[in-house]
Amino acid sequence: GQNIDQPTEMTATEGAIVQINCTYQTSGFNGLFWYQQHAGEAPTFLSYNVLDGLEEKGRFSSFLSRSKGYSYLLLKELQMKDSASYLCAVRIGGNKLTFGGGTRVLVKP
C-alpha cells in the first residue's frame, strides 16, 4: 500500500519560519508535489521535486531525499495569508497522485 505521513497541525508566528515534513513509503516514485489549500478552496500547486535537493521559489522552498523517503516544505517570513493546509503528494507512475492527509498551518500575529 501507499503511506504518506505529515503532521496534522502546526502553529507559527507571523514573520517566522515553519518546516512541514512529509515521509512516504510508496510502491513507485515519480516525483513529489506540494499543494496549498485554503479552507473551502481548491488546492493550488506550490512545488515539485523529483531529484534530491532543494528547490527554492520565493518564500517557499521544498526539499527531497529519495533515499530517505522524505521531503519538507519550508515557509519563510510567514504571513497571515499563509494560514492554510499544505498537502504532500507523491506521483506514482503516469499522472496518478497519492496525497497525504495535509498539514494545517495556523499563523498567529
List of residues contacting other proteins (CB under 8 A): 31, 33, 41-45, 48, 50, 85, 87, 89, 91, 94-99, 101-102
Min dist CB 96 to other proteins, Å, is 6
DSSP string, 71-96: EEEEE-S--GGG-EEEEEEEE-STT-
Min dist CB 37 to other proteins, Å, is 8
Q: Which is nearer to other proteins, 78 or 89 (CB)?
A: 89
Question: What's the Rg (C-alpha) of the chain?
Answer: 13
Q: Which is nearer to other proteins, 39 or 109 (CB)?
A: 39
Q: How far apart are CA 104 and CA 82, in angstroms?
A: 10
Q: Which is nearer to other proteins, 48 or 70 (CB)?
A: 48
Q: How far apart are CA 28 and CA 45, in angstroms?
A: 21
